[in-house]
């Protein structure tokens, strides 16, 4: 057995719902569903947002009962993961909830977070010009449109759904900022051009408990949980794109196989992007990434944590190295000497992946702080980059250069550097 209790005590991590700034409410389903959120704003750089979770909070010890209940089989000592060193102490799940109630809950949660994120920047919902949401397994095909409508966002505002697994919210932010991004160039609407100077909400909302519990994969059940984060920004004013790149590497072996709960042809054509772009209406757009799907329609199947480490570290280092080189060249072209990236906002897949990635980059002279700041959520897929950004936001200053590093199943990678605040106005 693992000494999880001592590790948790050393880390001194409290459950998310017990954080002093978290507002906790009960959603009226069953005996009441806890939903907590925290609102963050930094007026100096002109960015705000909100993040949170819903469902019961399970620590690493109480998780065992949930897994055995979900799988109908005991969690053996050899199957129990040592989760604290992977960066996870708590996560949120909703066992025993009907699909109908999951739909209602996730729409209510999503709408509330949109309202709170807008409010964090002093906006009313009707002020918002666009909503871009990353989701790995949306509870409905029109989820983004549904939460925007319930939140009171205008019907003519642009709604964008991005399905690139854990890379979804970072991919959405990349679409918002980079007019030369390949996906913007093939879309009927170049989002970065259309949204420049507009009031935009970008986030990741992941009701992972809904479909993870239908999986028999005990690794996935231990790693993932519910979570959401949404930021409010004005592209070109509060945040401006500097350099970046995107990459697709098909997961041939199904190291992290994920069912596609969204429209996609399932076709893979050599030389073409795996992301299908559809625009059913002028203000409704979907970017849907091809996944290596598990057999028999199960939600997710993992080859094991070490398989993920090998897959994401190797490819992740490659694209960060490329973007960092572009960043240095850009600074030289602009004649900006001595400028560096203040912090890297990296997807919290697990701490081992991120530590190995940072170690390899450091060995190459690429020294970017990549703090691990989410221990109360588990792996929350597309929500993690937005939550991590909001937790670092109070420390940020106008003119800071921030690296976003998103990656996810499929596999997909979005890495880019932005400038914040008053420097972005120039």
Per-residue pLDDT tens digits for 385-423? 999 999 999 999 999 999 999 999 999 999 999 999 863
Nearest to 181 by CA among 166, 198, 199, 164: 164
| Crossing angle of helices 351-363 and 305-334, rounded to 10° | 40
Q: How confident is the model at residue 211 (pLDDT cuts 50, 70, 90)?
A: confident
Residue 93 has pLDDT above 90, yes or no: yes
Residue 326 sits at the vertex; the CA angle it makes with 323 and 331, to the nearest 5 degrees, is 125
Question: Any idea which residue has 């389903």 for tokens?
Answer: 29
pLDDT at 282: 87
From CA 387, how far away is CA 229, in angstroms rounded? Answer: 5
pLDDT at 31: 86
Residue 426 has pLDDT above 70, yes or no: no
From CA 352, how far away is CA 202, in angstroms rounded? Answer: 27
Q: Judging by DSSP bridges, how do beta strands 158-163 and 284-289 pair with one another?
A: parallel
Print burial letters for 136-163: b (CB count within 10 Å at least 16), e (below 16): bbbbeeebbbbbbbbbebeeebbbbbbb
Residue 2 has pLDDT above 60, yes or no: no
pLDDT at 313: 93
Residue 4 has pLDDT above 50, yes or no: no
**CATH number attached to the domain at 4-425:** 3.40.47.10
| 99-141 confidence digits (pLDDT tens) | 999 999 999 999 999 999 999 999 999 999 999 999 999 999 9
Nearest to 225 by CA among 63, 419, 38: 63
pTM beyond 0.75: yes
Residue 379 has pLDDT above 90, yes or no: yes
pLDDT at 157: 98
From CA 185, how far away is CA 25, in angstroms rounded? Answer: 42
Compute CA distances 117 → 48, 111, 231, whole Å: 6, 10, 6
* Cβ atoms of residues 34 and 44 within 8 Å: no
| 24-61 confidence digits (pLDDT tens) | 999 999 889 999 999 999 999 999 999 999 999 999 99
Lookup: tokens for 61: 């010890």
Q: Strand ranges (DSSP E) for 9-101?
A: 23-27, 33-42, 47-54, 56-59, 90-93
Number of neighbouring beta carbons within 10 Å of residue 245? 17
From CA 173, how far away is CA 177, in angstroms rounded? Answer: 6
Nearest to 95 by CA among 67, 62, 125: 67
Cis peptide leading into residue 19 (ω within 30°): no
From CA 231, how far away is CA 40, in angstroms rounded? Answer: 9
pLDDT at 402: 98
Mean residue pLDDT across the chain: 93
From CA 21, how far away is CA 61, in angstroms rounded? Answer: 26
Q: How confident is the model at residue 11 (pLDDT cuts 50, 70, 90)?
A: low
Q: Which residue has the higher pLDDT, 219 or 426?
A: 219
pLDDT at 294: 92
Residue 1 has pLDDT above 80, yes or no: no
224 forms beta bridges with 379
Strand order of the β-sheet with 412-420 is 239-248, 412-420, 401-408, 341-346
From CA 377, how far away is CA 335, in angstroms rounded? Answer: 42
The residue ranges of every structural domain in the chain are 4-425
Residue 214 has pLDDT above 90, yes or no: no
What's the distance, CA 12 to chain centroid? 25
Radius of gyration for the chain, computed over Cα atoms and rounded to the nearest angstrom: 20
pLDDT at 423: 39
- For residue 322, the number of C-alpha atoms closer than 13 Å in the C-beta half-sphere is 15
| 339-361 confidence digits (pLDDT tens) | 999 999 999 999 999 999 999 99
Query: Comparing 90-94, 229-233, 288-292, 294-298, which segment has the lowest mean pLDDT?
Result: 294-298
Q: How confident is the model at residue 306 (pLDDT cuts 50, 70, 90)?
A: confident
288 forms beta bridges with 163, 276
pLDDT at 304: 67
Lookup: tokens for 147: 């939460």
């Amino acid at each position: 057995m693992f000494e999880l209790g001592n590790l948790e005590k050393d880390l001194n991590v409290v459950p998310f719902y017990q954080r002093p700034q978290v507002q906790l409410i009960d959603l009226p389903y069953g005996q009441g569903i806890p939903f907590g959120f925290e609102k963050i704003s930094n007026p100096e750089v002109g960015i705000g947002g909100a993040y949170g979770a819903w469902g019961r909070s399970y620590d690493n010890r109480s998780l065992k009962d949930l897994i055995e209940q979900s799988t109908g089989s005991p969690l053996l000592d050899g199957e129990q993961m040592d989760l604290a060193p992977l960066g996870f102490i708590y996560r949120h799940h909703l066992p025993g909830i009907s699909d109908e109630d999951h739909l209602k809950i996730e729409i209510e949660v999503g709408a509330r977070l949109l309202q709170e994120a807008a409010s964090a920047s002093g906006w009313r919902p009707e002020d918002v010009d666009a909503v871009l949401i990353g989701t790995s397994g949306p509870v409905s095909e029109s989820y983004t449109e549904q939460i925007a409508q319930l939140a009171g966002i205008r019907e003519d505002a642009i709604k964008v759904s991005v399905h690139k697994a854990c890379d979804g919210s970072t991919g959405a932010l990349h679409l918002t900022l980079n007019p030369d991004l390949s996906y913007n160039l093939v879309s009927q609407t170049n989002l970065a051009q259309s949204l420049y100077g507009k009031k935009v909400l970008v986030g990741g909302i992941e009701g992972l408990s809904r479909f993870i519990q239908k999986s028999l994969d005990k690794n996935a059940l231990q790693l993932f949980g519910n979570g959401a984060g949404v930021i409010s920004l004005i592209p070109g004013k509060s945040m401006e794109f500097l350099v970046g790149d995107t990459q697709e590497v098909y997961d041939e072996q199904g190291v992290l196989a994920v069912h596609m709960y969204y429209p996609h042809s399932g076709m893979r054509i050599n030389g073409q992007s795996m992301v299908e772009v559809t625009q059913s209406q002028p203000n409704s757009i979907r970017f849907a990434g091809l996944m290596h799907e598990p057999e028999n329609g199960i939600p997710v199947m993992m080859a094991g944590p070490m398989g993920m480490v090998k897959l994401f570290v190797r490819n992740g280092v490659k694209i960060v190295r490329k973007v960092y080189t572009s960043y240095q060249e850009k600074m030289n072209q602009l004649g900006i000497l001595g400028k560096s990236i203040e912090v890297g906002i990296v997807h919290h897949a697990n701490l081992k992946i991120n530590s190995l990635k940072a170690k390899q980059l450091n060995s190459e002279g690429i020294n970017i702080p990549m703090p691990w700041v989410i221990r109360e959520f588990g792996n929350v897929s597309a929500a993690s980059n937005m939550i991590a950004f909001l937790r670092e936001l109070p420390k940020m200053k106008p003119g800071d250069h921030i690296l976003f590093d998103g990656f996810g199943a499929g596999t997909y990678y979005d890495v880019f550097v932005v400038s914040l605040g008053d420097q972005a106005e120039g």
